[in-house]
Amino acid sequence: MINAALVGIDFGKTDFEASLEELSLLAKSAGAHPAVTLTGRRSSPDAAMFIGSGKAEELRLACEANDIEIVIFNHALSPAQQRNLERALGRRVVDRTSLILDIFAQRARSHEGKLQVELAQLQYLATRLVRAWTHLERQKGGIGLRGPGETQLETDRRLIGERIKMLQGKLAKLRRQHGTQRRQRERTRTMSVSLVGYTNAGKSTLFNALTKAQAYAADQLFATLDTTSRRVWLGDEVGQIVLSDTVGFIRELPHQLVAAFRATLQETVQADLLLHVVDASSAVRLDQIDQVNDVLHEIGADTIRQVLVFNKIDAVPELAARGGTVERDEYGNISRVFLSARTGVGLDALRAAIAEIATAEPLAGASQPQAATDWNAVPHEPSREAEHGR
Ligand SMILES: Nc1nc2c(ncn2[C@@H]2O[C@H](COP(=O)(O)OP(=O)(O)OP(=O)(O)O)[C@@H](O)[C@H]2O)c(=O)[nH]1
Ligand SMILES: [Mg+2]
């Protein structure tokens, strides 16, 4: 493992601590050992190096003292800032975006996942090349005669552009195939349920528990990149549903990734029901719920019926007794389920909840009014709690 220095600057945002802790997990997930963490306060980033020159010197000394090979910033750096920092520190400097891109590259397994990650990486690279190029152009004052360096940049740019087009073409083709499969599913009216949530919330563990499958679950960020789907039998009345495990979300998900993974993420949009898995043992779970809902909004999935699944209650003494509890909103619709994917407590309640939604509420894909807007529906008692599976 290589030693990494983490750098986080506090600009007065409330999630500073949590986001820094997350950076450490990201670094570990990428295979680096976070040996030192340097923090500081600023009102705005320094144009040349993001941090001031005094802080940069402090960072250089910390790197010398701790045998640091790579410096990871918890922010997006401009190409110039990255270059200046590498020069001043004599080490490789990466920002949060390229760290996340790196982890995705390491994890991608499926053909489509690999294409999407490569597309995101090239798009990230392209912005850097373009800027390096304009910078050189300015230096030359626009006087003719292209040097060999510039020609190379032009070639690089053209090759990257061609490869981006090629990848987009391949992905579009895969998407058309997926569309066909989806329409076949719709014809057979199988209810589709997707597990969504913050990275490391326990989606894959829950997927495995419900399907008795062996999806990769680990204490890593972005353990899952590829959407996996399996049929789950929910009894004679409901029959089969299709359950999908999906990639986790994170705050400030690089927009290149959202763009490249849009198709995969929008597969999520096609679900009839989203099980929004929450790590109930996290101190910042509410913040994480908001972040996930933001991404869902961005990909147009915020209108899909959603149930919050409070997972890992075995790790929260105050919640341990609530395993299998189902909470309802003022219309009597199920809003939250408390369970532990690890111990299995509450899984029956979740199965019952999915079955209830499958039979009682119209599917999102069907052109019928949602239960909540059905004015003739008899209102249930507010926040009635049903106990199941204990
Ligand atoms: N204590 C406890 N730990 C759990 C529970 N469910 C999952 N975990 C742990 O949480 C970690 C993450 O689980 P995963 O299932 O990989 O989480 P994920 O949401 O699929 O994560 P990504 O694929 O990385 O987005 C693993 O170490 C699991 O063992 C639970 O109910 N209780
Ligand atoms: Mg997973």
Q: Does residue 344 lie in a domain region?
A: yes
Select, from the ranges 24-28, 95-99, 176-180, 275-279, the one with the highest average predicted confidence (pLDDT).
275-279
| 318 backbone dihedrals φ, ψ, rounded to 5° | -70, -25
Q: Are 214 and 68 part of one and the same domain?
A: no
In a shared domain, residues 121 and 224: no
Confidence label for 246 from pLDDT (cuts 50, 70 and 90): confident
Q: Provide the angle, in degrees to the nearest 10, between the axes of the packed helices 79-89 and 53-66.
A: 50
314 φ/ψ angles, rounded to the nearest 5 degrees: -65, -25
Q: Are residues 219 and 160 in the same domain?
A: no
Tell whether 142 and 250 lie within a shared domain.
Answer: no
> Are residues 129 and 264 both part of a single domain?
no
Nearest bound ligand to CA 341? 1
Ligand that lies nearest to the alpha carbon of residue 206, given by its number in the listed order: 1
9 and 33 belong to one structural domain: yes
Q: What is the pLDDT of residues 267-321, one digit of tens each?
A: 666 789 999 999 999 999 999 999 999 989 988 889 999 999 999 999 999 998 9
**What is the reported pLDDT for 107?**
81
Q: Among 28, 204, 291, 339, which is best to mutate for testing ligand 1, by the most ligand atoms less than 8 A from CB?
A: 204
By alpha-carbon position, which residue is closest to atom 6 of ligand 1? 202
| Distance between CA atoms of residues 302 and 281, nearest Å | 25
Average the pLDDT over 182-195 and give the result.
78
Q: Please, are residues 118 and 106 in contact by the beta-carbon 8 Å criterion?
A: no
For the cut 80, the answer to whether the pLDDT of residue 369 exceeds it is no
- Average pLDDT, whole number, for the chain? 83
Same domain, 46 and 155: no
Residue 363: its pLDDT value, please? 53
Please state, in angstroms and as integers, the Cα–Cα distance from residue 114 to each residue in 102, 156, 195, 274, following that order: 12, 21, 21, 25
DSSP string covering 220-261, please? STT---S-EEEEEE--TTT-EEEEEE-PPB-TT--HHHHHHT
Choice among 3-12, 130-139, 184-193, 255-264 with the minimum mean pLDDT: 130-139
pLDDT at position 243 is 92
Ligand 1: atom nearest CA of 224 is 23
272-300 burial by CB neighbour count: b if 16+ within 10 A, else e? bbbbbbbbbbbebbebbbebbbebbeebe
What is the average per-residue pLDDT within 100-106? 87
Helix axes 96-107, 16-29, angle to 10 degrees: 40
In a domain, 157, yes or no: yes
Task: Give the burial class of 143: count Cβ atoms within 10 A of its Cβ; 0-12 exposed, 13-18 middle, 19 or more buried.
Answer: exposed
Residue 99 included in any domain: no
**Count of domains observed in the chain:** 3
**Is 205 in the same domain as 325?**
yes
Given a cut of 50, whether residue 328 has pLDDT beyond it is: yes
Confidence of residue 207 (pLDDT cuts 50, 70, 90): very high
Q: Are residues 89 and 157 in the same domain?
A: no
CATH number of 265's domain: 3.40.50.300
Q: Whose CA is nearest to atom 27 of ligand 1?
A: 219
Say if residue 207 is in the same domain as residue 354: yes
Q: Are residues 205 and 309 in the same domain?
A: yes
Tell me, yes or no, whether 11 lies in a domain: yes
Quote the radius of gyration of the chain (alpha carbons, Å): 24
Segments forming the whole domain that contains residue 137:
107-167
Average pLDDT rounded to a whole number, residues 103-116: 85
Looking at residue 265, its pLDDT comes to: 75
- What is the residue whose two structure tokens read 């987009």? 168
- CA of 341 relative to ligand 1 center, distance in Å: 8
Nearest atom (ligand 1) to Cα of 247: 25
Specify whether the CB–CB gap between 34 and 26 falls below 8 A. no
Q: Please give the model's pTM, rounded to 2 decimal places.
A: 0.78
* CA 267 – CA 278 distance, rounded (Å): 20
Quick one: 226 and 276 in the same domain? yes
* Tokens describing residue 193: 């349920």
Cα(235)–Cα(251) distance, rounded to whole angstroms? 38
Q: 173 in a domain, yes or no?
A: no
71, 94, 117 - which closes a domain: 94
Tell me, yes or no, whether 183 lies in a domain: no
List the CATH number of the domain containing 38. 3.40.50.11060
Q: Pocket around ligand 1: residues whose beta carbon is below 6 Å from it?
A: 197, 199-205, 217-224, 248, 311-312, 314-315, 340-342
More confidently predicted of 143 and 122: 122
Is 90 exceeded by the pLDDT of residue 333? Answer: yes
**Closest-lying ligand 1 atom to the alpha carbon of residue 221:** 24
For residue 180, tell me if it sits in a domain: no
Question: Is the per-residue pLDDT at 135 higher than 50?
Answer: no
Residue at 182 is within a domain? no
